[in-house]
Structure 1
Amino acid sequence: MKTFELLKGLVLGAEEDARKFFEKGNQAAGVRLRLAMQKAKGLAQGVRVEVSEKKKKK
């Protein structure tokens, strides 16, 4: 659950950069957003692994 909370916080934290990029065309915000999404991809994979491990234990 910890990894899920980290993922959620990362996505919510990137919301401002997403708005700046998509609504105002701020290129630096786009770079930050892409970095955050790459981190989110890794965290999402971590959540998948945790879920699979927990299912195997039952």
Structure 2
Amino acid sequence: MNELIEKINASFETLKADAELQAEKGNKAAGTRARKASLELEKLLKEFRKASLEASKA
């Protein structure tokens, strides 16, 4: 579970950095990377939800 949380944090930092580049400097490539990171983050958060539910049942 800790490894999953680390992946979520890394993905969020990537999303945050690229989103800031897009918003502040109008960097279109950063916007594409941010959207890709958001999809990866979504998958990781769903995985976290499943793991969290399993842990609470144990």
* TM-score (norm: length of structure 2): 0.87
Instruction: Write the distance in 1 (CA, Å) between the matches of 2:5 and 2:22.
Output: 25
1:3-30: CA deviations, max 9, x gaps? Answer: 1110011111232211110111111110
Q: What percentage of aligned pairs have identical amino acids?
A: 30
Question: Are the aligned partners of 1:4 and 1:44 in contact in 2 as well (CA < 8 Å)?
Answer: no
User: Which residue is 2:53 aligned to?
Assistant: 52
Name 1:17's counterpart in structure 2: 18
Bigger Cα displacement from structure 2, 16-25 vs 34-43: 16-25
Q: 2:14, 2:35 → 1: CA distance?
A: 13
Alignment root-mean-square deviation, CA: 1.0
Structure 1 stretches of 4+ with a deviation exceeding 4 A read none
Alpha-carbon separation, structure 2, partners of 1:24 and 1:36: 19
Which position in structure 1 is the counterpart of 2:5?
A: 4
TM-score normalised according to structure 1 size: 0.87
- The aligned amino acid for 1:8 is N
Q: How many residues are treated as equivalent by the alignment?
A: 57
The unaligned stretches of length 5 or more in structure 2 are none
- Alignment correspondent of 2:33: 32
